[in-house]
Copies of this chain bind each other. A is one copy, B any other.
């Protein structure tokens, strides 16, 4: 395949990759927006947003600890071929 041909393909591929990522980042931004809205709604119902965030962070941390335990278990299991 010619050098030029390869470059064209690479360019198309690059364009495709960039588009996909940008599309996904839009999605991410949209979700972030949704989250903000929920917080706003909560605030309007008298909840303290800062506290809310802390609570959610704690809940997440606990889950992470759990995930960590499971990961360690997974390591043991794979090491022991169980």
Partner of A31, one of B24, B47, B60, B65: B24
Contact mask for chain A residues 1-39; partner B; CB cutoff 8 A; 1 contact, 0 none: 000000000000110011011101101100110110011
Number of copies: 4
A64-B68 Cα distance, complex, nearest whole Å:
15
* Contact present for B76 and A45 (CB under 8 Å): no
A48-B17 Cα distance, complex, nearest whole Å:
12
* Contact present for A31 and B42 (CB under 8 Å): no
Most B C-beta atoms less than 10 A away, residue of A21, A34, A39, A68: A21
A47-B28 Cα distance, complex, nearest whole Å:
23
Question: What are 6 of the A-B contact pairs (CB < 8 Å)?
Answer: A13-B47, A14-B47, A18-B59, A48-B75, A54-B68, A61-B65
